[in-house]
Amino acid sequence: MADEHKGQRIGYLRVSAADQNTHRQLDGVELDRTFEDKASGKDTNRPALREALGYVREGDVLICHSMDRLARSLVDLLSLVKDLTGRGVAVEFHKEKLTFTGEPNPMQELQLGVMGAVAQFERSMIKERQAEGIRAAQAQGKHLGRAPKLTADQEAQIDARAASGEDKSALAKEFGISRASVYNVIARQKKPAPVAAPKREEVPAQSVEHTTPSFVELESEGGKPKTRELLMPKLDKFQTEKCKIHLEPTVEFEDD
């Protein structure tokens, strides 16, 4: 008769604080490979368990000594069993003599249903305890969540009152922040404010008017160049009033 599970039989062992010996957990059980967590974990984030969950394949059987060795709560247990059976991996609990394969089976479905109901009840109880803890903390005036953001006036007030000798723990409680935040506020207040850079003024560029004498001014009514005696006074005037540019006439003019 062919074996129902054609894959490997994988054992998972986890020690507890009371019993540090894992040899008796699956003693006499035939296994192809074992994974063992030496220390107790609070959730499913345990190195050997993570390795085992990544190692198993469809057709394998993951065998644990008992339910409390695989998970620390029914919520985690139900999640792990559903994940493994959904991947085609059977889960067997040696102590309870229970096997979950994920196949249609009225007894397995009933057992998983009971586990799911108990897990839901467990989640509800956890949430209720958390809500009670929050209400109790609020009644005592404790701040929950992130520290509130202080305004500039509040930070200045904290710095001034701390400098006058007020207790920093009392200030932290009054403003709903931690004692470390009070010291951070004081440090920020002592830090000199950044000096603004002087505003740079735009200086308009000095425009130099390079004006050349009009040819109309240098020509006579007949269109011919004027004589040297008539042109030189105009050139001298242009040199003085416009750009003070020294002009050295390069054209020789003939006297009339």
220 noted as active-site residue: no
Distances (CA, A) of 236 to 40, 45, 183, 214: 107, 99, 79, 14
Sheet containing strand 9-14, strands side by side: 33-37, 9-14, 61-64, 90-93, 98-100
Helices 179-190 and 168-175: angle between axes, nearest 10 degrees = 100
Q: 66 near 95, Cβ under 8 Å? A: yes
The one-letter amino acid code at 40 reads S
Token pair 């009933």 in the structure block, residue: 110
Q: Among 16, 40, 214, 220, which one carries the catalytic annotation?
A: 16
Question: b/e per residue, 49-88, with b = 16+ CB within 10 A?
Answer: beebbeebeeebbbbbbebbbbbbbbbebbebbbebbeeb
Helices (H) and strands (E) in the chain, counts: 9, 5
Q: 47 near 37, Cβ under 8 Å? A: yes
Q: 104 near 113, Cβ under 8 Å? A: no
Active site residues: 16
